[in-house]
Amino acid sequence: MKAAQSAAKDPAASREGCYSGLPLVIETGMPLCENCLSIQRDTLGAPGHPALRITDTQRRKLPGSYSETISLFHCAQCGADWRYREAKGGDDQGWALLREGAA
């Protein structure tokens, strides 16, 4: 309990690896499902889980740079929205939680 309280006092600590900076479960009180909690964030090639449904995919080639693919997913179990980014270069690749949903 103390760890959750101290993380709630420091919002930046609970947003580590978050793509959009929206509040995480500690701040919203809406729990992620067990499968979403098991997703390894910010690691290229890490698997998602079967309840994730793809909602959008965009491929783009950045001028004079690398190409990237960004896919958005929605969890049918808990309503969380995820982003998976794959690129030939750059940081911030793999899974990132965008928003928890209300199950």
How many angstroms separate the CA atoms of 28 and 43, rounded?
25
The total of structural domains in the chain comes to 1
Can you give the pLDDT at residue 89?
73
**pLDDT tens digits for range 66-77:** 889 999 999 999
Q: Estimate the share of the chain in helix, then strand, then coil, as percent rounded to the nearest 5.
A: 20, 30, 50
Can you give the pLDDT at residue 99?
79
| Secondary structure element (H or E) that encloses residue 82, with its range | strand 81-87
Q: Is residue 51 scored above 90 in pLDDT?
A: yes
How many angstroms separate the CA atoms of 24 and 80, rounded?
10
Domain that holds residue 79: 2-99
Q: Is residue 17 scored above 70 in pLDDT?
A: no
41 or 90, higher pLDDT: 41
Q: Is residue 96 scored above 90 in pLDDT?
A: yes
